[in-house]
């Protein structure tokens, strides 16, 4: 029997029903994660053929013949994230699963910011907004986080240094800049089957662990639904991809990272996890942000004319003259993100 999204979603729902017999907060978190996975997968199973029929497709430039693949699959990730967030409110705020540090006001501020960027991503997928506008609009999406005063703290805890008080600069400058920068960075290091979702899964798994270990339930409730949505999406996006995420997902990954570390006051961890994206940005900036800059030869990807114009080219060249497969490239970047995750975990668990 062929395994489909409905079979996997059915298993998930059965697990939720079974686990629902236990009234423990930890199982409530598992409900949230599994619900996000199942909603994303079921919706994608229906959405992919609809997107193809409507002509919402994009060329897979890293495959022979550039086949047309369904675009904007990230809508399903947002749906899964929303389902998990709503379930979090229901389970943790209504059904007496409330954790001591859960703050509904901060949580709702985070949700508004994330959904604002997601909406911007949908618009961008339809009309392709100019880059300057995509840099400016996220500044306004950060308003809810600014209003709640950065979850009540303007102090940033930096390993080896300690607590640094930024005061009003943190609220008025650093928060909106972080939202704008992170959302755009994750939209730039993209375009390969499984890369965006794969790296995102590593990031949000790490942030969830840090949130749990630091007692930041509100941050944990932001990370788990996003993690679940990305896990469900990767089932369809792994090589060879059946669907592309679109800017709606790529932008949202970044803003969710920024929002979660702001809410949890774990900003340094966010910077460490964003290191590959930051490095990629500087390499591309030095080359005036090229668009198509690799070629496929014998099933392997290599930079055009051997020129390094992005972090992916560093990996392609390091792989040798023959280049690297798309699946191998994604695996390398997931491994690179895992290294950053281990650094972040080591620093925060040590200090």
**Domain limits, the chain:** 5-51+66-279
Q: What is the H or E stretch that residue 108 is in?
A: helix 104-127
pLDDT value, residue 77 = 98
pLDDT value, residue 161 = 72
* CA–CA separation, 315 and 78 (whole Å): 31
- For the beta carbon of residue 215, count every other beta carbon within 10 angstroms: 12
pLDDT value, residue 19 = 44
Q: Please name the residue that has the structure tokens 């920024």.
A: 258
Model confidence pLDDT, tens digit, residues 50-104:
999 999 999 998 898 899 999 999 999 999 999 999 998 887 666 555 544 578 8
pLDDT value, residue 159 = 66
Tokens of 225: 């639904």
* CA–CA separation, 243 and 115 (whole Å): 21
pLDDT value, residue 110 = 95
Tokens of 134: 């995509």
Q: Please name the residue that has the structure tokens 């540090």.
A: 101
* CA–CA separation, 332 and 22 (whole Å): 40
Structural contact between residues 93 and 32, judged by C-beta atoms closer than 8 angstroms: no
pTM: 0.90
Tokens of 45: 């199973």
Residues of the chain under the 50 pLDDT cut: 1-3, 15, 18-24, 99-100
Is the peptide bond between 129 and the residue preceding it cis, with omega within 30 degrees of 0? no
pLDDT value, residue 3 = 46
pLDDT value, residue 21 = 41
* CA–CA separation, 325 and 294 (whole Å): 12
pLDDT value, residue 26 = 67
Structural contact between residues 198 and 9, judged by C-beta atoms closer than 8 angstroms: no
Nearest CA among 135, 140, 147 for reference residue 171 = 147
pLDDT value, residue 171 = 85
pLDDT value, residue 20 = 46
How many Cα neighbours within 13 Å face the side chain of 64?
5
- What are residue 309's phi and psi, to 5 degrees? -125, 10
- What are residue 158's phi and psi, to 5 degrees? -115, 125
What is the β-pairing status of strands 294-297 and 68-70? unpaired
């Amino acid at each position: 029997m062929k395994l489909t999204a409905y079979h996997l979603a059915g298993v998930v729902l059965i697990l939720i029903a079974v686990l629902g017999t236990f009234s423990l907060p930890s199982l409530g978190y598992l409900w949230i994660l599994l619900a996000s996975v199942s909603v994303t997968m079921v919706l994608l199973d229906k959405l992919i053929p609809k997107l193809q029929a409507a002509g919402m497709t994009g060329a897979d430039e890293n495959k022979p013949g550039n086949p047309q693949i369904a675009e904007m699959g990230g809508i399903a990730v947002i749906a899964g994230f929303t389902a998990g967030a709503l379930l979090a409110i229901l389970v943790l705020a209504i059904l007496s699963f409330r954790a001591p540090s859960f703050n509904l006001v901060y949580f709702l501020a985070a949700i508004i910011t994330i959904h604002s960027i997601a909406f911007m991503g949908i618009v961008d997928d339809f009309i392709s907004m100019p880059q300057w506008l995509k840099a400016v609009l996220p500044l306004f999406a950060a308003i809810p986080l600014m209003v709640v005063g950065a979850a009540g703290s303007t102090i940033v805890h930096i390993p080896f240094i300690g607590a640094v008080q930024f005061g009003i600069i943190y609220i008025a400058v650093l928060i909106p800049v972080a939202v704008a920068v992170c959302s755009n960075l994750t939209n730039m290091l993209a375009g390969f089957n499984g890369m965006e979702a794969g790296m995102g899964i590593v990031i949000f798994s790490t942030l969830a662990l840090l949130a749990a270990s630091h007692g930041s339930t509100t941050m944990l409730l932001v990370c788990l639904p996003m993690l679940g949505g990305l896990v469900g999406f990767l089932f369809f996006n792994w090589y060879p991809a059946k669907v592309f995420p679109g800017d709606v997902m790529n932008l949202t990954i970044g803003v969710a990272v920024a929002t979660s570390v702001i809410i949890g006051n774990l900003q340094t961890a966010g910077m460490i996890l964003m290191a590959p994206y930051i490095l990629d940005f500087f390499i591309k900036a030095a080359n005036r942000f090229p668009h198509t800059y690799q070629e496929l030869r014998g099933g392997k990807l290599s930079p055009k004319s051997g020129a390094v114009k992005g972090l992916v080219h560093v990996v392609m060249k390091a792989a040798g003259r023959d280049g690297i497969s798309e699946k191998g490239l994604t695996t390398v970047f997931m491994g690179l993100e895992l290294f950053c995750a281990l650094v972040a975990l080591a620093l925060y668990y040590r200090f």
